[in-house]
Structure 1
Amino acid sequence: MPSGQTTLEQVLPLLQVRIFAYDCLRRTFLGEPSKEFLRTVSHEGFIEGFPFAEDSALIHEGAENVSEYLKNQDVLSEEVHDKLHWDYTRMFIGPYELPAPPWESAYLNKERLLFQEETINVRRAYLKYAFLPKDFGHEADDHLGLELDFMYQLSELAEAKVSKQDIGGLVEVLRDQKAFLEDHLLKWVPEFSKQAARHAQTQFYEGMVKILAGFLELDLKALEELLDINV
């Protein structure tokens, strides 16, 4: 980022890239893949051009995994669609022991219990922005898909602050995103990603968890650069 005076409009492209990335990632991990989502990611260049892929070996490797899978499998067929559903279900839902539980507390809580202090801390971050998870009270707030959805919502809010020329509001949102990355996602997603990549039965999820881990790491740097801009 340039160190001189920068207009708010000049930071928009990076903000919009972050919206795109978090939208893709939240839709990947919020639930089993819909055919609509699979049709979207199958578009030529969608995964290959994932943000920051040229700056991250992990994102690049993950994108290659997903791209190869999409080229060799008809993901809209019932057979392949069912395989992807099962891969998501057995890793992230059950009914058997989960190889890669998708909750923050499963990695940071000694007893690996849900709805503990870790969950409450995540809820506090949500409440500042009146973010109420869809299945509040039934799904733990620290589910990966919900944490990514929160980052997506704040990314959209940051773009809205630029439209309103609200520099102070933009800085506050970006600082809160940086804090959420450091205090939550980056504390457990790297380990989650390793476990999920190891146990995935499809290249699709093997690749997507690599993309996830690589993107979060570089997004922290992007936020640091955005907060260092003189506007």
Structure 2
Amino acid sequence: MSQRVDAPYLDAFAASFLVLGRLHLGHATEGTRRDIYSQLSDWPFWYEPSPLPELADLYADAHAAHTRGIDLLKRSWESHEDDETIRMDQDFLYGVSAHARVSPFESVHVGEEQLVFDTETIQVRMYYSRLGLQAPRLHTEPDDHLGMEFAFLSQGCQQMMTALEQDRTEDYTRVRDIVAAFTAEHPLRWVPATVREAEAQSHTAWMQGVEALSYATFASWCVTLSTQGLVPCTDVVSGFAAPYRGITAAHKGVAAGKFGDPGVPGETRETASAAAPLTGKPGELSEPGNPGDHASENPTR
């Protein structure tokens, strides 16, 4: 196995994780939803010519989720789902305005106490720092938000592409190994079950579509890493087979607003959107010296 993810794949994953990360972190404006609708036919899917036999079912599942997500987002726009309905659905889903139906924080799903700012939050923070990144509201809001973890994968793909473009093989290998290890140790342990549950718990076609595309993108990413020998196949299979753990009553109180709205750094929820849905640079994580900068003003590579 080459253990190399080629630039076209990295480019597609970087863009997709960027857009999905922002959609999980903030509300999509009508303009953003219009832009995404106009480009849905170009939303990438990773046609793996020869996935490992053990991953064939997951690959097929990812393709089905991709198709379903595209159809749901089209239905949302064509049925004229309004901003307020979508906003309320996302807020109640993730616990911004009330008790969370599905928590967007890793430590709630993986930690023994199912509370935010647990061990997993610190571990995720350490991974961010290994690529010279940090969450925009360090020590104030948890680092292990679903949108943040997707943003980190996007940043990692961007850094790998830069290393390939500049023929810096050692840097490429270092970033690749960090991102692959992060994938196996963190999102793989909770994201598959969580986005499946979030799709089931969502009330709008928009949020259902976002969750379905999140599943499709992350599943495709894991199939790609495993096919290249970067994440063990058994880990991928067990990660996607793991059941949803649920949320304890204790967490519901925390999710109801103790840490506020995760948001996108430097932007309000109303303006936090992916203006160019399938292009652009990651922006939810910042360089340690610039935690409060606008993503568009200080893109990190």
Task: Name the CA distance, whole Å, in 1 between partners of 2:223 and 2:170.
Answer: 20
Given candidates 149, 167, 173, the residue that maps to 2:151 is 149
Q: Secondary structure at the match of 1:42?
A: helix
Instruction: Give the drift of 1:225.
Output: 4.6
In the alignment, does 2:44 pair up with 1:37? no
Distance 1:52 1:169, change over 3 A: same
Query: Structure 2 matches for 1:155-174, cutoff 5 A?
Result: 155-174=157-176
**Contact 1:161–1:170 (CA<8 Å) still a contact in 2?**
yes
Instruction: Indicate the RMSD between aligned Cα atoms, in angstroms.
Output: 2.3
Query: Structure 2 matches for 1:35-184, cutoff 5 A?
Result: 35-43=30-38, 46-52=39-45, 56-73=63-80, 80-184=82-186
**Contact 2:18–2:154 (CA<8 Å) still a contact in 1?**
yes
**Amino acid in structure 1 at the alignment position of 2:208:** E
Task: Name the CA distance, whole Å, in 2 between partners of 1:112 and 1:170.
Answer: 35
Structure 2 equivalent of residue 12 of structure 1: 7
Instruction: Give the drift of 1:216.
Output: 0.8
**Contact 1:48–1:67 (CA<8 Å) still a contact in 2?**
no
**Contact 1:65–1:207 (CA<8 Å) still a contact in 2?**
yes
Judging by fraction of residues, say which structure has more helix: 1
**Contact 1:29–1:144 (CA<8 Å) still a contact in 2?**
yes
TM-score (norm 2): 0.66
Larger mean Cα displacement after TM superposition, 111-120 or 84-93: 84-93
Larger mean Cα displacement after TM superposition, 19-28 or 113-122: 19-28
Q: How many residues are matched?
A: 216
Instruction: Give the drift of 1:93.
Output: 3.2
Task: Name the CA distance, whole Å, in 2 between partners of 1:93 and 1:32.
Answer: 13
Instruction: Give the drift of 1:227.
Output: 6.3
**Amino acid in structure 2 at the alignment position of 1:51:** P
Task: Name the CA distance, whole Å, in 2 between partners of 1:169 and 1:155.
Answer: 12
Distance 1:36 1:171, change over 3 A: farther
Structure 2 equivalent of residue 209 of structure 1: 211
Instruction: Give the drift of 1:53.
Output: 7.0
CA deviation digits over 1:56-108, x for unaligned, max 9? 112211221112212221x6xxxx01111111111113332101110001111
Larger mean Cα displacement after TM superposition, 52-61 or 95-104: 52-61
Task: Name the CA distance, whole Å, in 2 between partners of 1:35 and 1:164.
Answer: 38
Instruction: Give the drift of 1:48.
Output: 3.7
**Contact 2:121–2:142 (CA<8 Å) still a contact in 1?**
yes
Instruction: Give the drift of 1:223.
Output: 2.8
Task: Name the CA distance, whole Å, in 2 between partners of 1:175 and 1:40.
Answer: 34
TM-score (norm 1): 0.85
Q: Secondary structure at the match of 2:186?
A: helix
Task: Name the CA distance, whole Å, in 1 between partners of 2:163 and 2:30.
Answer: 33
Task: Name the CA distance, whole Å, in 1 between partners of 2:193 and 2:227.
Answer: 26
Task: Name the CA distance, whole Å, in 2 between partners of 1:50 and 1:186.
Answer: 22
Structure 1 residues without counterparts, runs of 5 or longer: none
